[in-house]
Amino acid sequence: MRKNGPELEADMSKTPAVARRTALVVGLGISGIACAIALHRAGWLPVVVERAPARRRGGYFIAVMGVGRSAAADLGVGDRLVDHRAESMTYVIDRQGNRSPGLSFADIPINPYLTMRGDVEDAVWKTLQEVAPDTEIHFSTTPTAIEQNGDCVEVTLEGPQGVSRRWFDLVIGADGIRSTVRRLAFPPALGGLQRLGTMICAYALQEDLPTLPSGVGGQIIEPGRSFTVFPFDDRRSTVLFSWYAADPDAERKGKAAEQIRKAFGPEPLGPILEAALGQLETSEAALFDIAEQVRLSTWYQGRVVLVGDSAWCPSLYSGMGASSGLAGANVLGKRLEEHGDDIAAALADWEATMRPRIAEFQKSAGTGIGVFTPASDKAIRIRKRAMSLLTNPIVRWVFSHVGKFLPVMQQRERPIF
């Protein structure tokens, strides 16, 4: 299945397949793997290139909502996608670990699956291996030029064997928020990255934190900065730092732990944050980045289409990136199948189906920042009041039964087809 060496060179010299239409999928994340499955299901031949030398593992906490679960079911992922929610409580804590009842993703009434990015990638990867075990996958390979020529797209690829050219009927950029496909095929006038004002750092713990054994969640919320511990039923928690940054570019150039120390100072960090930062310094797979969305006026140009974070990254604050990546891939496969040879019609129909829901997910990130990283003392006070109301046992019970009918929940639950 994996091709890296001379085989790649041989493949790259081939001219387009005649019998089955070929699609280049750039990126082997959730959206890219899901696209490969969806294209295969639609009768296409997907070819995947991934910049990294191997598949990633682990990652950080993510919630998969109904939108993503129904797409995954449609793609044949079935019970490979598993809920790893911890049954215990999540608390609002202070820097010393003093607790009061809090809320977490587990309290969302539509029962999202609580898992890790790597688990979802594993689930779609195993499905791809099952349904299309011969899919060509080239690691350490990236596109460096994309040219459209009537009915085909010529892509220059750089891999371990050097540079080669290949022709495809369709190119799918599923290469994440800083997409190369977007840079190569979408003029800047169509849009791009939009900053949300915060920095984020997420990683998996190797050891429990003081006062927070595995399975117990917690959140320290202070004006302009927060620290969240996401618990699981079968492994150590993952954590997320989120804070407002005056100069995100300068912060991103620095070391994550040092920037967090500055952002959470000058007060003493206390035992929980100290222990978490100690583990960040030895973590090999921490994500440290500027929080951004992608806003584009269209997600396709001719026969080049973007899916997932590359197209619309709603950001972690919406909690919908993985779900919408799965849905985007699933719907793309369906529309290509329905429209047959008319690829332009398929892409237009696909975008028309996806756009209204994606717009809602992107909008919801504004509320998400307020929940995760309230900007001021006043915002904290409002949050505290809402929290004490929502953690009241009677209100909690009512919310768990009727909350699923709220439009904001329906948007996340209702499948996109």
> Rounded CA gap, 256 and 269, in Å?
15
Number of Cβ within 10 Å of residue 265's Cβ equals 9
CA atoms within 13 A on the CB side of 116: 24
Cα angle: 281, vertex 232, 363; to 5 degrees:
85
Quick one: 8 or 26, whose CB is closer to ligand FAD? 26
Cα Rg, the chain, nearest whole Å: 22
Distance of CA 208 to the CA centre of its chain: 25
Instruction: Considering the complex, state which of residue 315 and residue 353 has its C-beta at the smaller distance from ligand FAD.
Output: 315
Query: Can you tell me the distance from the alpha carbon of 273 to that of 280, in angstroms, rounded to the nearest whole number?
Result: 10
The three-state secondary structure class of 292 is strand
225-230 vs 217-222, strand pairing mode: antiparallel
Q: Which lies closer to ligand FAD via its Cβ, residue 158 or residue 345?
A: 158
Q: What is the bridge-based pairing of β-strands 99-101 and 22-26?
A: unpaired
252 or 384: CB nearest ligand FAD: 252
Min CB(189)–ligand FAD separation in Å:
22
Nearest approach in angstroms of CB 363 to ligand FAD is: 15
Closest C-alpha to 348, from 299, 383, 395: 299
Using CA atoms, how far apart are residues 214 and 205, in angstroms rounded to an integer? Answer: 10
What tokens were used for 216?
């117990």
Which tokens sit at 224? 């302009």
- Min dist. Cβ of residue 140 to ligand FAD (A): 9
Which of 319/333 has CB closer to ligand FAD? Answer: 319
Query: How many beta carbons lie within 10 A of that of residue 356, not counting itself?
Result: 10
Give me the least distance between CB of 393 and ligand FAD, in Å please.
26
Nearer to ligand FAD, 109 or 271 (CB): 109
**Minimal distance, residue 32 CB to ligand FAD, in Å:** 5
Looking at the Cβ atoms of 9 and 158, the one nearer to ligand FAD is 158
Nearer to ligand FAD, 53 or 340 (CB): 53
Residue nearest to ligand FAD (CB): 321
Binding residues for ligand FAD, rule: CB under 6 A, are: 26-32, 49-52, 60, 62-63, 117, 142, 174-176, 180, 200, 202, 240, 287, 308-309, 316, 319-323, 325
Name the token pair of 331.
């719907």
- State in angstroms the smallest separation of the CB of 8 from ligand FAD: 14
Least spacing, CB of residue 98 vs ligand FAD, in Å: 26
Q: How far is the CB of 402 from ligand FAD (least distance, A)?
A: 23
Number of residues that this document lists for the chain = 417
| CA nearest neighbour of 81 among 130, 47, 115, 32 | 115
